[in-house]
C-alpha cells in the first residue's frame, strides 16, 4: 500500500506497525526525551494512584510504563490493534497489574463509565474519525474522569509547518528507517501530523463533544512547538 493510501485508509496503520515492532523501542530510545515526555503527560492527569486506566494505542508499552509509574495501586488495560507491538509489550509487564487487549480503538464497546482515566499517546491522530472516537471515549469514562492525549499538533503558521517538515524529513524518517528497515510508517507519521488539527482546534473539538476544562500543556525544549499534552474532564 502506497503511503498516500495509508493516509486515506487509517485502519491499515496498525498492520504497518507490525513491520517495525521488533525495533520500535530502539528507534524511540534514540529520540531525545521520548520516555520523559510520556511520563510528564501521565503525571499531568494528577491521579490518586489507585484508578483503572485505559492506555489506548499502547504499542510496545512505553506509554503503559509511564501510566504504571503514576498508578502504584491501580490497574491498566493496554489496548492496541497491532499484534506484533502487543507481543513486545506483553513481555515487559508480566506479573504486574497490567493486561493487554488487541482491539480497534474506533470500535471499543466497553460499558458506559468503565474507566477512571484514559491515556492516549500518539493515537488520536491515527483515528479515521476524531469526533466519533472522542464521543465514544467520553461514554466509557466515569463522571469526573480525566482523559489525556499525548500528541503532535502544529500551529496554523508557516514556521510550525516548516519546523516539523525539516525535523520529519531530515531526522525522523532517515534515522527510524535505518533502525527499523521500513520507511512507510514513519513517512505516514510525518504526513499525518501535518493533517492533524492545531492545538487550539483540538481543544475546541474536545469541548464540542462535551469534555470540560480542556487545555493544552506544552512539552519542554525543542519539542515545545510540536508536542503537547491535552487534558480534559468528563
Task: Evaluate if residue 10 carries a pLDDT over 80.
Answer: no
**What is the residue-averaged pLDDT of the chain?**
89
Task: Evaluate if residue 4 carries a pLDDT over 60.
Answer: no
The number of C-alpha atoms within 13 Å of 145 and in the hemisphere containing its C-beta is: 23
Gyration radius of the chain's alpha carbons = 17
pLDDT at residue 195, as a whole number: 92
pLDDT at residue 189, as a whole number: 87
- How far CA 174 is from CA of 42, 155, 196, in Å, comes to 29, 24, 22
pLDDT above 70: percentage of residues in the chain = 86
All three cell numbers of 38: 510520556
First to last CA, the chain: 39
What share of residues in the chain are helix, strand, coil (percent, to 5)?
50, 20, 30
pLDDT by residue (tens digit) across 92-116?
Answer: 987 679 999 999 999 999 999 999 9
Residues written for the chain: 234
176 pLDDT band, cuts 50/70/90, is confident
pLDDT by residue (tens digit) across 219-233?
Answer: 988 889 999 999 999
Give the sign of the dihedral formed by CA 104, CA 112, CA 94, CA 66.
positive
Task: Evaluate if residue 185 carries a pLDDT over 90.
Answer: no
Domains detected in the chain: 3-233 (3.40.50.150)
Residue 78 has phi, psi (to 5 degrees) of -90, 130
Spell out the alpha helix ranges (H) of 46-183. 62-68, 83-92, 130-140, 158-167, 173-180
Amino acid at each position: 500500500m502506497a503511503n498516500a493510501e495509508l493516509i486515506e485508509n487509517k485502519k491499515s496503520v496498525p498492520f504497518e506497525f507490525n513491520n517495525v515492532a521488533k525495533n520500535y523501542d530502539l528507534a524511540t530510545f534514540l529520540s531525545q526525551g521520548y520516555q520523559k515526555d510520556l511520563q510528564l503527560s501521565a503525571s499531568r492527569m494528577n491521579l490518586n494512584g489507585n484508578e483503572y486506566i485505559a492506555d489506548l494505542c499502547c504499542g510496545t508499552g512505553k506509554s503503559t510504563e509511564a501510566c504504571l509509574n503514576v498508578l502504584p495501586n491501580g490497574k491498566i488495560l493496554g489496548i492496541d490493534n497491532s499484534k506484533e507491538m502487543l507481543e513486545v509489550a506483553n513481555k515487559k509487564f508480566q506479573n504486574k497489574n497490567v493486561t493487554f487487549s488487541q482491539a480497534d480503538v474506533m470500535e471499543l464497546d466497553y460499558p458506559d463509565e468503565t474507566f477512571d482515566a484514559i491515556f492516549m499517546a500518539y493515537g488520536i491522530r491515527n483515528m479515521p474519525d476524531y469526533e466519533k472516537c472522542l464521543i465514544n471515549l467520553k461514554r466509557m469514562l466515569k463522571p469526573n474522569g480525566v482523559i489525556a492525549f499525548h500528541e503532535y499538533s502544529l500551529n496554523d503558521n508557516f514556521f510550525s509547518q516548516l519546523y516539523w517538515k525539516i525535523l520529519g524529513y531530515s531526522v525522523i524518517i532517515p534515522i527510524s528507517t535505518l533502525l527499523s528497515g521500513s520507511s512507510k510508517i514513519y513517512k505516514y507519521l510525518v504526513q499525518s501530523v501535518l493533517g492533524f488539527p492545531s492545538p487550539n482546534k483540538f481543544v475546541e473539538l474536545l469541548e464540542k463533544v462535551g469534555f470540560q476544562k480542556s487545555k493544552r500543556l506544552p512539552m519542554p525544549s525543542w519539542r515545545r512547538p510540536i508536542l503537547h499534552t491535552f487534558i480534559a474532564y468528563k
